[in-house]
Structure formats: C-alpha cells, structure tokens
Amino acid sequence: MSSSVAEAPDLSGLIELSRDPALDLKPVILRVQTDLFLTAPVHDRAILQAFESLAAGLIPTVDADTLRIVAEKLDGCPDVPAGVRAALEARGFPLAPPREPGTEAEADRAIAANPGALIGTRTLERLVARARTDAALAHTLLGRPDIPPADLAPLWLFAEPEQRRAIAEAVEATAALRPCPSTPRTLATSLVEHSHARDVQAFVTALGNGLGLPPNYLSAAIDPAARYDLLTLALRAADLREGEAVFVFLTLNDSVARSVDRVFALVTLFRETSRATARDLLCAILGVPVMERAGGEHQPLHGPEARRPAPAAAERGGLRTILPTRLRRTS
C-alpha cells in the first residue's frame, strides 16, 4: 500500500453517517476530501485515483453551492483528475485547463514535478542531462523517491549530504567490480608542487590531463561552492594520499584554507569515498566514459581472436633429436 494512502485520515465515520437518510453529509465529505487533496504533500497515482473515484461519484449528487466552493478551490490546480474535471463541467462548473508548458524546458520541469508521472529510461536521461545545468530541475529529480540513487549520480553536486551518501553507496556497489588502474606517482608530485606554488591554472590543467578529463571539467559545477567537491573527487581518483590532499586544501586557495569547517568537510569526503567510487562519480558528473585500464589493448586468452602459441618444435628451431636405433640381431 502506498504511504500516502496509509497516512490518509480515516473517514469511515463520515461515510457511515452519510448512509443515514435523515442526514446529507455528501457535501461535507466532498469538501473535506477536496481540502485533503489540495493539502497533500504529493499527488501520486494512489492519491489521484482515490480522489477521482470519490469526488466524481459525489459531484452529481450535491448542491450547486457546494460545487461552486469545490470548483473555486480546485481551479488552478494542475493535478485535478480528468474524471473530476468532467463531472464538474457536466454540472456547469468547468475548471480552467492546466497551463501548457511554453518550452521544452518547462515541459521537463512539469514532468519532474509531477509525482504521478512515470519516468522511463529515455525520459530520465533527457531530464538528467538538462538538470546538469538547471539547479531547480536537479533538486526536483533528487527529491523523487521513485528514481534509484544510482541513476542520480550525474546530479551528485546538487544533492544534500544524505542524498550524496545514498548515491555514493549505490555507485560503490558497482564501481568496485571494474578495474581501477593506478596513476603514476609523478602526477601527485606535480600537483603538490603546483599547489605549493599557488599556481591554480597549472594545478587544474595537470589534474585534468592526468585523469584524461575534458579541459573545462570544473565548469560542471555551476555553483562555485561545489567546485572544490568536484576537485576532491578528482584528487581521490588520482590516487593522492590523504596527507597530500590536505596539503592541497591548505595551500591552493586561501579562502578554502581559512575555513576549518570547509577543510574538514573536504577531508571527510576524501576519506569516506573510495577511489573507484570517486572515479565513477566523476565520470557520471562529467558525462565521460569510465577509464578501466591504464593503457594497451586487451588480449583475450581464449577465443577465435586469441593469439595461438607457436608449436614447441618451432620454438626449438624445428630440430628433432634422432635417437639411436637398436639393431636387430639376425641368426
């Protein structure tokens, strides 16, 4: 049973009273149900179906004054079920049609904000791609309980701390199954040197080149405050030691170094995120493929494309030792 239905108030007493021929509580029930519908935190499928089945059955039986009050309350609500609209219109109280979105972006926001909408794979991919640069849409998608956390990994930068943990746990479940090639220690050394010299541009360029990231990878964080979170994931993916990462946090940028809370939060993020998880989160945020091998082409051990070992005779130059034969003695 849906949680929204389970938490709905028990109106069985009113329903029983409505069966008393001496009392007419149908207008009261309709108005109460309308208020409950409008104040519901979400209008999921269960809420919509329950309200439609009850209201559409009561509207033909109540007086005009009650219908006028109900219509005024429902007018402007975009989630009024079609059956309720039709019943009110049949009684002479039509509701204004829901406003059609003017642009594709508005249509996507309307889909994301509608808890009763079923979001398929392709639609979700389109919404997530748009949400990379639309903070409001990103927060709406992150607030939907029907989208798995792993599918929201590209929106990790917009997520609240609890949402980030859920996304990281979902990503970690599959990230550890893929190889995570080590990076050369020269990368960490150069990053520490650039940070010590406070050469931000050289630091960002070296880190991006070392991980094979797009040149403008920091622009994925449209909120400047989140850029250091993205940078921390990159440092973790680059396999820096914790002490080296702390040195970067304390030397690269003075505004970050002066905030004890900010440095502590970055160190916590670095410490709690595995390297494979940081790599996959980074790739999801930037929309780039996951790098699984340090280089070279994979050579299968078996299969038609596998290299066949040379015959043993060929390895010895094709020479074969001739054993002496035993002469047969004849009488």
pLDDT tens by residue, 87-102: 999 999 999 887 666 6
Residues 26-38: what's their mean pLDDT? 90
Of residues 118, 40, 107, the one with CA closest to residue 79? 40
Interior angle at CA 308, CA 302 and CA 309, nearest 5: 120
Token match 């622009």: residue?
A: 219
Of 48-52, 180-184, 272-276, 312-316, the poorest mean pLDDT is in 312-316
Residue 268 corresponds to which amino acid?
T
What is the reported pLDDT for 204? 95
233 neighbors 273 (Cβ within 8 angstroms): yes
Nearest-angstrom CA–CA distance, 70 and 163: 38
160 neighbors 167 (Cβ within 8 angstroms): no
If one compares 177 and 3, the residue with the highest pLDDT of the two is 177
Q: Does residue 314 register a pLDDT over 50?
A: no
Q: Does residue 203 register a pLDDT over 80?
A: yes
- In sequence order, the 6+-apart residues with CB closer than 8 A to the CB of 179 are 292, 293
Q: Which helix (H) or strand (E) holds 189?
A: helix 185-196
Q: Does residue 6 register a pLDDT over 70?
A: no
What is the reported pLDDT for 279? 94
